Structure 1
Amino acid sequence: MPDAGRFSGKGVIVTGAARGIGEAVAERFVSEGARVLLVDVLPEVEATAARLGQPWLLQDVAAPGAGEAIAAAALGALGRIDVLVNNAGIGGSKRLEDSDDALIDRFLATNLAAVLKVTRGVLPHLPRPGGRIINVSSIFGITGYPGTTAYAVAKAGVAQFTRQLAGELAPEGILVNAVAPGLIATPMTTGHRQNALYTRLIVEGTPVERLGTPADIAGPVAFLASEDAAFVTGIVMPVDGGFLAARHGKI
């Protein structure tokens, strides 16, 4: 259950916060007392932020200077930055032979390079000790699945970035972790969830026998940002209903 005061006085940035996982993560932090800057390229971020009573920024995380722009907006609106949640990303990848240069570049720019660049822009403003960075990877950054090449490679890069940065920043008191969601019911996964083969392999193959929800991801993110995780850094936590641990026996 949320702790209404666990993040009281903290400033949090959540990218990709207009809907889906990002919206749920922002809502969780607000419910626990944080002030949150919601960042997204989608105009609906304004309505989401208004519902939560929080500031917002319309920003493409892959644009030049996005990290510095996000940091400046957060400092102006929140006064401080304690937690960065790199959630923004795109879906719809293809098999490699069906991927043109534009598709590959788009996935690597948004789902990987932007995570590095936004983090670089925000990093100077995180407290030492006490700063937290939580990245959103994917189970497809850990295990392969046909037809997701550029997406999977980018998310694997996010996982390795998490481990790399954790080692660099731990001596300064900044902890860096990631979550790796399984199949979550969000607008971005609608197409996958309408695919019969995908549903059989992923949904029916999940031991808990259900889709994940955005709230299922928000809880672990909040944990990793909290003092309960003060001795945790460099992990990529699967939040997948047991999919990576054991495929369901019905398959």
Structure 2
Amino acid sequence: MPSESYVITIYSDRQKGLIQAVPEVLSQAHHSYCMRHLTANFYSEFKDVLLKRLFWRAARTLRESVFKDTMDQIKARNENAHKWISAIPKESWASFYFTGDRYDVITTNRSKLLNAFLKNARKLLIASLVEHTRWTRWKTSDFFQKRRVYGDEWRTQLTNYAEKHIRLAKEESLQYVAYRVGLHVFEVRSVQIQDSVNLHLQTCSCRVFQTIGLPCGHAMAAIAITKEKNLYSFCKPCYKVDRYRQTYDEVLYPTLDRT
């Protein structure tokens, strides 16, 4: 089985300072541009809803053929829009070319909750800013506590998100036919396409398996013919309920006033 990766991924809105600073300060990190910000800038430039949708499709797809076809559609509709997109390194926004781990997350939306805590504090005087920061610590502590309670309620081995993904992947796998072509390698066929799965490396040519860290429908079809009963061994540890609980186990203790 592949070892767990600890290389971090940085998400940003493509500020020039960050583009330069990330490789200098965090040379091993992967830098992902937020598609919400990219598409907002793109739409303000070209004002075309269809182009915007095609841009998102190019960003999300995990198949190179779909990426190239989508970019060709953008070029055919508006060559300047194609040039605008092509000027941005595709390794920083397109899921197929991104080499880090971002688990199909392509925006910074999840950080907006934390950013909102400090949004109104930027113009405060020092004393007020410190007090506001204490309030933010309380909100963060409350955030952890709610997730501790939430995690304690689960009676499954995987988080709700992962359990739902596995269930849907099982349903999807029924439309595929898998053949073992090696010790760990399988050919998985459907009416439209043929894919290759390596259960030892936990990869699939559709790239969902290695991108999300959970078996795709093709992988589930391959697992089915191995008679392997422990599906959870093919899921990244970050989806395990035990790992979730460990993440929020620490207590953020109050900062007491001086007496």
TM range (shorter): under 0.3
Larger Rg: 1 or 2?
A: 2
When normalised by structure 1's length, the TM-score is 0.26
**Higher helix fraction (1 or 2):** 2
Using structure 2 for the length normalisation, give the TM-score.
Answer: 0.26
Of structures 1 and 2, the one scoring higher in RCO (CA 8 A, sep 6+) is 1
